[in-house]
Chains A and B, each alone.
Chain A
Amino acid sequence: MLSAILTLGGLALLAGLGLGYAGKRLRVEEDPLVEKVDAILPQTQCGQCGYPGCKPYAEALANGEADINLCPPGGERVIRELAELLGVAPKPLDGAEPVPKVAVIDESACIGCTLCLKACPVDAIVGAVKQYHTVVRGACTGCELCLAPCPADCITMQPLPPDVRQWRWSSPDKVPPSAPSAEENQASDDAPSASKKAA
């Protein structure tokens, strides 16, 4: 029996030493997990996840402290990619998936206070003191941080108009099995939620 214990114990020791050595010697240098997670997030810096920006949320995710379904601007795509990266099961979004929106300033009501300029985390609003402010549509991420500071209540969030070049095919599993009637075609033509279907 002693010989058995010694043999197996010796083999285990050897295996452990070997693995430890391999772990050091053959180590693969990788981006830290936080960087990889941050690269998936949409960088709107809106704070809707409860963390003050995308990087803090990424850190929390990398430490396993945060759930993967807290990012509305990222939507299903981000949840799916996070699930794959972190090796957890994907979950539905906490809340409804939002329609992509951008901020729009009603220039006739703007008083030029620059409070929204300071609030925007990506500098998407241009203007100066006592001058009209306006939102650069291509830079706006839809984070809604500019809405609260505005004293004149002249900023609204509006959905992006549907654009043929942004349209995506939906999965065949979501398409009903028979042809839509002419009335149904017409109704969806008029509905403003056409961009929602496109999203």
Chain B
Amino acid sequence: MSGRVLASPYIHSGAAVDTIMYWVVGALLPAAAWGVYCFGWPAFWTLFLGIGSAMVAEWLTLRAMGRPNRVRDGSAALTGLLLAMTLPPYAPWWLTVLGSVVAIVIGKQIYGGLGYNPFNPALIARVILLVSFPVHMTTWPTPIFLLDAGLDPYNFMQGLAVTFGSILPQGVTWDTVTSASLLGQYRTELSAGATVGEALTAGSGYPGYSWVDLMLGRSAGSLGEVSALLLLLGGAVLLFKRIITWHIPVAMIGATVGMAAIFWTLDPTHYLDPMLHLFSGGLILGALFMATDMVTSPTTPKGQLIFGASIGILTYVIRTWGGYPEGVSFAIVIMNMAVPFIDQYTRPRVYGHGRKVQGFKGGAR
């Protein structure tokens, strides 16, 4: 009988894992919907395949490993959704499915399942895909309202053809429907010796976005890049519901924008202005939804600030001087490795310990 008793407390706040996961999914849906509006049916298929294959992969893996079925808790769906948001919308179906499977199996289940993975599963999958299929992963379509080529992505059959066959309609080539992302353009041109202004103005054939364009989604990029405003809105909802705390997003965005501001002030001809940095690439998606992934981020408030700031700095470094135009995914994965170390050294001061505590001088203490 003594072995049967459970200890207090006997009331609970009602929080649950699936509630958290579904709130995050919900916060992402407006941005995802905008992405579908921008890119048509292929984007829808990418999202659908991403979420679906992640859930199927999780179910199969858990069965194969003899573990209880946890697909209902929504973490697989969330991983699939996040991964799909970082992929090019016209990605071939096998790229999306492979990515989801890698995210669930290699990114999460082999470490022991939910709660045990050291790396953000969606990002580790993205990194693996990027390194393995660099061309497919950097083919960014232009949003529909900026296109004047013959592709009609709202056409169901054309959409199917693009995703499942990588087939474009007659007379349309990949070049006409895709363009470089802003960061990609910046890096390519700068390494060729141009200045920032030259790289980004219409004169070089590049549409030339301002940060307002970026914020409203009028640029080529992944589903996550084109919806900066809606992502911010989703993030605000999560902050309000206390699903995420402010430490990581503020530290990360602050660090990147801060560094960008410093270098841009020093040399505006070779460094992008901070507002462009803020709204391009996956910075906002990464700051609000990826870096804040609970399993792979520190648990202490000080640790979260250090974590966020380091990611921000690394992102800027990779974007400006690194081998890839986009640095958020690598930066987050690198800092994921440091999380146990950060947690260990940022432990909060315990009540009753430390120099703030005074007892009687000369007393027995």
B65 near A: Cβ within 8 Å? no
B5 near A: Cβ within 8 Å? yes
Contact call A175/B2, Cβ cutoff below 8 A: no
Interface of B is mostly: loop
A197 near B: Cβ within 8 Å? yes
Give B313-351 as 1s and 0s: 1 = Cβ < 8 Å from A's Cβ atoms.
000000000000000000000000000000000000000
* Complex Cα–Cα for A174 and B6 (A): 10
Q: Which residue of B lies closest to A177 (CB)?
A: B6
Contact call B6/A175, Cβ cutoff below 8 A: yes
B3 near A: Cβ within 8 Å? yes
B1 near A: Cβ within 8 Å? yes
Q: Which residues of A contact B3 (CB under 8 A)?
A: 170, 174-175, 197
B4 near A: Cβ within 8 Å? yes
Query: In the complex, how many angstroms separate the beta carbon of A23 from the nearest chain B beta carbon?
Result: 29
Contact call A167/B4, Cβ cutoff below 8 A: no
B7 near A: Cβ within 8 Å? yes
| Interface size class, chain A | 10 to 19
Q: Which residues of B contact A175 (CB under 8 A)?
A: 3-6
Query: In the complex, how many angstroms separate the beta carbon of A192 from the nearest chain B beta carbon?
Result: 13
Partner of B1, one of A169, A172, A174, A188: A188
Q: Which residues of B contact A172 (CB under 8 A)?
A: 6-7
Contact call B4/A176, Cβ cutoff below 8 A: yes
Q: Which residues of B contact A180 (CB under 8 A)?
A: 1, 4
Q: Which residue of A lies closest to B6 (CB)?
A: A175
Q: Which B residues between 1 and 27 are near A, CB-CB below 8 angstroms?
A: 1-7
Query: In the complex, how many angstroms separate the beta carbon of B328 from the nearest chain A beta carbon?
Result: 39
A194 near B: Cβ within 8 Å? yes
A13 near B: Cβ within 8 Å? no
Chain B: residues with Cβ within 8 Å of the partner, total of: 7
Q: Which residues of B contact A174 (CB under 8 A)?
A: 3
Query: In the complex, how many angstroms separate the beta carbon of B340 from the nearest chain A beta carbon?
Result: 20
A31 near B: Cβ within 8 Å? no
A148 near B: Cβ within 8 Å? no
Give B178-204 as 1s and 0s: 1 = Cβ < 8 Å from A's Cβ atoms.
000000000000000000000000000
A65 near B: Cβ within 8 Å? no
Q: Which residues of B contact A169 (CB under 8 A)?
A: 7
Q: Which residues of B contact A194 (CB under 8 A)?
A: 1-2
Q: Which residue of B lies closest to A170 (CB)?
A: B3
A85 near B: Cβ within 8 Å? no
Q: Which residues of A contact B6 (CB under 8 A)?
A: 172, 175
Contact call B1/A170, Cβ cutoff below 8 A: no
A189 near B: Cβ within 8 Å? yes
* Complex Cα–Cα for A198 and B2 (A): 7
Give A83-117 as 1s and 0s: 1 = Cβ < 8 Å from B's Cβ atoms.
00000000000000000000000000000000000
* Complex Cα–Cα for A145 and B68 (A): 49
Q: Which residue of B lies closest to A185 (CB)?
A: B1
* Complex Cα–Cα for A176 and B6 (A): 9
A30 near B: Cβ within 8 Å? no
Query: In the complex, how many angstroms separate the beta carbon of A43 from the nearest chain B beta carbon?
Result: 28
Query: In the complex, how many angstroms separate the beta carbon of B10 from the nearest chain A beta carbon?
Result: 11
Query: In the complex, how many angstroms separate the beta carbon of A168 from the nearest chain B beta carbon?
Result: 9
Give A176-199 as 1s and 0s: 1 = Cβ < 8 Å from B's Cβ atoms.
100010001100110000100110
Contact call B2/A184, Cβ cutoff below 8 A: no
* Complex Cα–Cα for A82 and B190 (A): 62
Q: Which residue of B lies closest to A188 (CB)?
A: B1
Q: Which residues of B contact A185 (CB under 8 A)?
A: 1, 4
Contact call A189/B2, Cβ cutoff below 8 A: no
Query: In the complex, how many angstroms separate the beta carbon of B82 from the nearest chain A beta carbon?
Result: 32
Q: Which residues of B contact A167 (CB under 8 A)?
A: 2
Give A52-87 as 1s and 0s: 1 = Cβ < 8 Å from B's Cβ atoms.
000000000000000000000000000000000000
Contact call B5/A197, Cβ cutoff below 8 A: no
* Complex Cα–Cα for A198 and B5 (A): 12
Query: In the complex, how many angstroms separate the beta carbon of B177 from the nearest chain A beta carbon?
Result: 55
Query: In the complex, how many angstroms separate the beta carbon of B166 from the nearest chain A beta carbon?
Result: 50
* Complex Cα–Cα for A189 and B4 (A): 12
Q: Which B residues between 103 and 118 are near A, CB-CB below 8 angstroms?
A: none
Known: A185-B1, A188-B4, A189-B1. 16 other contacts (CB 8 A): A167-B2, A169-B7, A170-B3, A172-B6, A172-B7, A174-B3, A175-B3, A175-B4, A180-B1, A180-B4, A185-B4, A188-B1, A188-B2, A194-B1, A197-B1, A198-B2
* Chain B contacts to A: CB under 8 angstroms: 1-7
* Chain A contacts to B: CB under 8 angstroms: 167, 169-170, 172, 174-176, 180, 184-185, 188-189, 194, 197-198
* Cβ-closest 4 pairs across A and B: A188-B1, A170-B3, A180-B4, A197-B3
Q: Could you show 21 A-B contacts with beta carbons less than 8 Å apart?
A: A167-B2, A169-B7, A170-B3, A172-B6, A174-B3, A175-B4, A175-B5, A175-B6, A180-B1, A184-B1, A184-B4, A185-B1, A185-B4, A188-B1, A188-B2, A188-B4, A194-B1, A197-B1, A197-B2, A197-B3, A198-B2
